[in-house]
Structure 1
Amino acid sequence: MREFDYQRANDVPGAVALLNADPNARFLGGGTNLVDLMKTGVERPDRLVDVRELPLDQVESTEDGGLRIGATVSNSDLAAHPDVRRRYPALTQALLAGASGQLRNMATVGGNLLQRTRCGYFTDVASPCNKRVPGSGCPAREGAHHNHAILGASEHCVAVHPSDMGVALAAFDAVVSYETADGLGELPLEEFYLPVADTPHRETALPSGALITGVTLPAAPVAARSRYRKVRERASYAFAIGSVAAALDVQDGVVRDVRVALGAVASRPWRARAAEAVLSGAPAGEASFAAAADAELAAAEPLPDNAYKVKLIRNLMVSVLTELTEEAAR
């Protein structure tokens, strides 16, 4: 690891000022992703600005019944928070599925949103990678891609976003708050991550020098009956090969409200809007769930070694939605 400077920020404006004073500085939260990338040479910051001690570690209820989550709240504390467990159980399940206890204790909400892909070509500095070195190519398309994207990819990048937490947040219309030298700003999570297109190195719409200060979850009564399901290649801690966050409100056998988001299928947490449109007002049953999954996956463009994900995600969506329906009927 190359040498770097380290400074601890005392307040949010100070943190923003420190980052803007050095174009090659990075914010440091828990460091569970950034430090690993520094060890491999993918990230080479000249300065780390430690934001872990900033007063952004609270989970608070909003006036409309939602939640405001500070950026430095640890994944462990967020998963255990009683309001999260009661109002957004899929978020708790996603956090618990996302990492070992030791990592959850260190990882922060802001850092989780900004974690980089685990594509092997991205993390290997000896390999070309458009996300790491724009214009160098995407060897995953012809190489190892069994865990890569089937939705929203491009010829320039087929990597997937690794966050479990982000999938649950996407299902519940989360809004990301940030601060820059010019003031405060917000981005809906669906706009926070940029499409891959021909610029995969540009991952988020955050302005330059911005510090994430928190995430707001609007009130969503449907979220109280929600579930997160993750499929991985081994039962112990591992990144997803497919995941679903879903919430369902069924009245008199008809879907009145539904939220669905998918993970490990795209470069960002994937809100399944086409599936939701099919399900809204439809009978709650396996036929409707399968039709909704097919509508969402109609846009899938799998590569030879990840075509299995289409069937996996279809079955996963049907299974989770069926379980939520059966739970509501009890």
Structure 2
Amino acid sequence: MWVLGIDTSCDDTGVGLVEDGRVAVNLVASQVALHQAFGGVVPELASREHLKVIRPLAERALAEAGIGPQDLSLVAATRGPGLIGALLVGYAFAKGLAWALGRPFYAIHHLEAHIAAAWPEGLEPPFLALVASGGHTHLFEVQALGRYRLLGATRDDAAGEAFDKVARLLGLGFPGGPEIERLAREAGEAIPFPLPLKGQEGYDFSFSGLKTRALQLVEKGLPAPALARGFQEAAILHLAEVVLRAAEDTGHRVLLVAGGVAANQALQERFRQAGLQVHFPPRGLSQDNGAMVALAAWRRYRAGLPPSPLGLGATAYWPLEEA
């Protein structure tokens, strides 16, 4: 069966096709060049760009798969959370297509889609899932498909957001994660950064202190590569410390790491050395994309979870525990 998934939760327009749980097509129209001059995403510009590209991108995806709209069995889109104007573009397009074709429609939670991208076939819950991206840093206990318990979340900036802001301080490009990672490789040594929330009993995250420390170091004129490496090492160590402590406390030995930050090679290496069974998304599925939405819908359909009513609206705020 063919599943079409659409994601327009932020600035990237994602259209993906999944055939029987296998990603067949994954197209992403990036808006990096559009927003780069502003150092971050401008919501109104993002919405307008989604409107321009959503239909031709969907048509291209179908053409690359060698199928037509009538070959689709399910249609899915990100319902939330995200930028509401951006969300509405892909969500309305997908609902309209599902209605016109008479196909079931699945409204997918953005974080569940990220988890689905890293969830290998045959892995059964329970396990832990860390979603770290430009808009989210959340740690969940996945009890079953559709059943999630939030263990901790960021108290301020998301991990990817902090990478973007520190990259801006260093005069680097947007998005900042790949730029920080590239620059960090040039450093002979790292400038030390303090570990956030040291000694906490819970499983929350915080990146605002690292960002402030980076600003102080930039103002002192310290070398950018050593600063980038120090920031990256501290951010990764913070993520790992919280997650590994949660794994020890809960007894879980399986971890999924998803979201754009999961593509960071230094982060992947740190978690692979942690003694857990760790899974990351395949290449191309870490960033926001439509294929992960299609994967989540396919899993829900296969598990017997009902489709969504077409009258259900998009939402900027939607806790995963309520999905």
Q: Is this a same-fold pair by TM over 0.5?
A: no
Greater fraction helix: 2
Normalization by structure 2: what TM-score? 0.27
Larger relative contact order (CA 8 Å, sep ≥ 6): 2
